[in-house]
Structure 1
């Protein structure tokens, strides 16, 4: 009955339109009241969930991403991508995918990727004769690279939810190959659709101008190299590396590009504070919610249920993927990482999957959820930028969903996709 209060309180909160963090907190309080526990235990769990040193990296990553987004990095990466692949048929679609992969490795956020690159590329694609739905389709699905390509603060949340013991540097490295494969699949899908719609090709600017755009974009791209290199080499901890990333981003945008105004800096600070506050409250309430899930032995019950359905590893992983895809369509990514990790991680460990590989499976599933209705943040941002209805976009987005699903299946069933790169640095 206590579990009914917990889940019922959460569902009611969602139905009446409460933010996910509030719904999780209210559900935890409802369970505490039913069990006769002091409400203080809920707040103690919240504080314990937020009082983790490694979480200090999250505000730094968010701030670095904001500085990169407002400091002109996105436009320079777009120009570089345009010089490299723009001359192909439907080249701006490929430019969109390549830019997302490059910028995702800097911002670490799918929503920031959609907002920054969408503001540049969607109007550009419209001006060149591309349909609005195609521009939005490519923009929102390729933004998942912001979740996969390191550094990603969602991987830090996963390491936290897993109870420690998982190397964040290994998670960062594990996201590189799946992220590249996903972008290659999306590139193929965008090219095929562009051919069918007879979209134009951009003229090749020449080797010299292409090299110049690459050199200009290099300082911004090196932000990700500084952060990841510091973590992987062991020179910095994740938190220290994130702080160094902020300093480097400031140096590049202020002194190299000279494109970050005082107004943009202030907006970056304010937005980082807002985003960090939302993330930390979500971490706290999700930790309380997960505490009661553990109290009611939900992870063990789900493990028994799945193993009673089938003992086939292939079928079990397929069921987990389906469950995550459905949940991702209705809930925020951060909350799902904190809730689903303690539920499904014991299941995949039972069947011999490496926790690092499961982390990549989780990231790609929930990243896809950011592009699907009814709660897809990236989908809403992309449609808002293009001023196009979501229904219009959904009619033609299926080839791009299929491309991500191909990458997801490879990540799920081929361990080397996720684990080969981390193994090189062990």
Structure 2
């Protein structure tokens, strides 16, 4: 067995016996290095530092801090109220509110687990009280939270941009339309289950125009932040790091001066949470850089290109194969390490056959996110099952229908790349 298969086998074995993913990646890489004498272990720290030595990467803690500052107040409730005023009168309105809130909240949070936990913590108990079955509440929350890292700003998009030297601004706006389409598709499959189970509207009557405007005004300051971020990047006014700093300042003004919900204690808590999240992301990237170094030395990109071209030389077919590979690995590996491991090799394959880097990035992110709700690990489902206090197995009956719909959307953006590339092309 070659080095690359052994590397992946060790990593997956460690993951399945319960070793944290970042340590599984590191242990498997070090084992290969020791037994194959690739590099001297004493230079590993410098290689790990090289992986995070990026100016663009400095934007991540600022985006995370902005999200934390906004989330410390009642912004989530304001977004839910606005969503409810728009569609709460529909049958199964609270389930649709869940999805619409994730679309609006995605620009505020930008990370999948944060979106899932924040929205789920409020809406799963509310849906249970409104008569929804726990399995549907969990699945709707888990799947809709995948919209977060697709609609800008997105930490995953920034990581992909750094690894492939792709424009952050183009990736941000390239994910906007697919994210909205995914939200609409999730509403469609949710409507099917709502009608089948006979759930009633959340609101007894349609909200008045005045109520809609009032709830919009209350939630709009926070939802405007991501718009300023994207516009600043698109027009070249700011760099990604500068846009992150501006997002932090905007969050301080909105939560502190407009909503008047920030206290010193909340700011300190936000800083602590940001420090923890940033440390985890940087640790993952630095350790996975060593893993990627082995892949480079073993000519993994060239071997992968040869393998894929032996099956098909059609760019669309190749992108389908890439999506399948990422989806399968995404069932066991979290999105951050998976993207760090595969972004560069798949980017090389994609550019070799003429796949647009922006389309490739959005497709990889979407597919990796779908893997986070897929058995056997089902990370996002597990988070929300913990909130609902039900076993993961109870969601299996309906989760497959959601997975099918989400994969169909991925295939749609593969077949029609302009869904992703149109906005970047006119910006």
CA distance in 2, matches of 1:61, 1:355: 23
CA distance in 1, matches of 2:267, 2:221: 19
1:56 aligns with 2:79: no
1:417 aligns with 2:419: yes
| SS of 1:71 mapped into structure 2 | coil
Q: Indicate how the Cα distance of structure 1 residues 9 and 44 shifts in structure 2: closer, same or farther if over 3 A, else same.
A: farther
Choose from 226, 230, 253 the match for 1:251.
253
| Deviation of 1:70 (Å) | 2.1
| 1:181 equivalent in structure 2 | 181
| 1:319 equivalent in structure 2 | 321
1:170 aligns with 2:170: yes
TM-score, normalised via structure 2 length: 0.95
CA distance in 1, matches of 2:282, 2:96: 36
| Deviation of 1:113 (Å) | 0.9
| 2:36 equivalent in structure 1 | 35
| 2:22 equivalent in structure 1 | 21
| 2:199 equivalent in structure 1 | 199
| SS of 1:147 mapped into structure 2 | coil
Choose from 233, 236, 256 the match for 1:234.
236
Alignment deviations for residues 283-342 of structure 1 (CA, whole Å, 9 cap, x no partner): 001111111101001111111011112233343332222111111110010111111112
Q: Is the 8 A contact 2:327 2:370 kept in 1?
A: yes
Residues 414-423 or 386-395, more deviating: 386-395
CA distance in 2, matches of 1:7, 1:398: 27
CA distance in 1, matches of 2:411, 2:180: 14
1:212-361 equivalences under 5 Å are 212-361=214-363
Q: Indicate how the Cα distance of structure 1 residues 13 and 40 shifts in structure 2: closer, same or farther if over 3 A, else same.
A: farther
Residues 369-378 or 82-91, more deviating: 369-378
CA distance in 1, matches of 2:99, 2:13: 39
| 2:79 equivalent in structure 1 | 77
Q: Is the 8 A contact 2:284 2:336 kept in 1?
A: yes
TM-score, normalised via structure 1 length: 0.95
Residues 392-401 or 285-294, more deviating: 392-401
Q: Is the 8 A contact 1:32 1:42 kept in 2?
A: no
Q: Is the 8 A contact 1:306 1:316 kept in 2?
A: yes
Structure 2 unpaired stretches of 5+ = none
CA distance in 2, matches of 1:415, 1:105: 23
Choose from 143, 149, 153 the match for 1:151.
153
Choose from 137, 142, 145 the match for 2:144.
142
Q: Indicate how the Cα distance of structure 1 residues 262 and 373 shifts in structure 2: closer, same or farther if over 3 A, else same.
A: farther
| Deviation of 1:135 (Å) | 1.1
Q: Is the 8 A contact 2:301 2:345 kept in 1?
A: yes
| SS of 1:144 mapped into structure 2 | helix
| Deviation of 1:4 (Å) | 5.4
Q: Is the 8 A contact 1:332 1:375 kept in 2?
A: no
| Deviation of 1:12 (Å) | 4.4
Q: Indicate how the Cα distance of structure 1 residues 9 and 195 shifts in structure 2: closer, same or farther if over 3 A, else same.
A: closer
Q: Is the 8 A contact 1:328 1:336 kept in 2?
A: yes
Q: Is the 8 A contact 1:373 1:379 kept in 2?
A: no
CA distance in 1, matches of 2:258, 2:9: 54
Alignment deviations for residues 37-68 of structure 1 (CA, whole Å, 9 cap, x no partner): 31023222111001111111111111112222
| Deviation of 1:8 (Å) | 4.6
CA distance in 1, matches of 2:162, 2:346: 15
Count matched residues. Answer: 423
| SS of 1:289 mapped into structure 2 | helix
Q: Is the 8 A contact 1:169 1:231 kept in 2?
A: yes
Q: Is the 8 A contact 1:101 1:183 kept in 2?
A: yes
Residues 376-385 or 279-288, more deviating: 376-385
Q: Is the 8 A contact 2:15 2:332 kept in 1?
A: no
Q: Is the 8 A contact 1:156 1:168 kept in 2?
A: yes
Residues 26-35 or 216-225, more deviating: 26-35
CA distance in 1, matches of 2:116, 2:137: 11
Q: Is the 8 A contact 2:86 2:207 kept in 1?
A: no
CA distance in 1, matches of 2:400, 2:27: 37
CA distance in 1, matches of 2:262, 2:119: 17
| 1:372 equivalent in structure 2 | 374
| Deviation of 1:279 (Å) | 0.5
Q: Is the 8 A contact 1:46 1:284 kept in 2?
A: yes
| Deviation of 1:28 (Å) | 2.5
CA distance in 2, matches of 1:348, 1:51: 25
1:90 aligns with 2:57: no
CA distance in 2, matches of 1:137, 1:394: 9
